[in-house]
Amino acid sequence: MQIEKKVFSKLFKEKTNLSKIDEIQAIVVSARNTRESWDNTLTSLYDDLFNLVGRFSEVKDLYNSYASDVDTVKEDYKDLKEDISELGIEINAVQYTGEIEAFINTSDDVYAEMIEAVGIFERLNNNLKI
């Protein structure tokens, strides 16, 4: 009887240890799956962030080109107004001047949007240390 108890006790202990191993193995498998999911999500996030940096560079380049064009239009239009004034002609009588003035006036809206975009990007950059 004593031998049977020892054998039974040993078998029970081994079975318990085996079930612990199964539990640990299940946790390891779950953790590996979680890690793989985390790696994939992080990689996707980095891709999105680097794409965002690239896209923002494009936006800045386009804005700088636009701002240069606006400055050129403002200077040329100022010279045109002076020339027309010297001829004694009313500026409103010249074709396209209303359209040019509207373009110049709305350029401030684009500037305000760019300032807002730069602010958002800088906050992202500072928070994420891109």
The pTM of this model reads: 0.59
Helical (H) or strand (E) element with 124: helix 97-128
Given a contact cutoff of 8 angstroms between Cβ atoms, the answer to whether 77 and 104 are in contact is yes
Per-residue pLDDT of the chain (130 residues; tens, 9 = 90+): 566 666 556 656 666 666 777 888 888 899 999 999 999 999 998 888 888 888 888 888 899 999 999 999 999 999 999 998 898 888 888 888 889 999 999 888 888 898 888 888 888 878 776 5
**Cα diameter, the chain:** 127
Residue 106 CA to residue 66 CA, distance in Å, equals 12
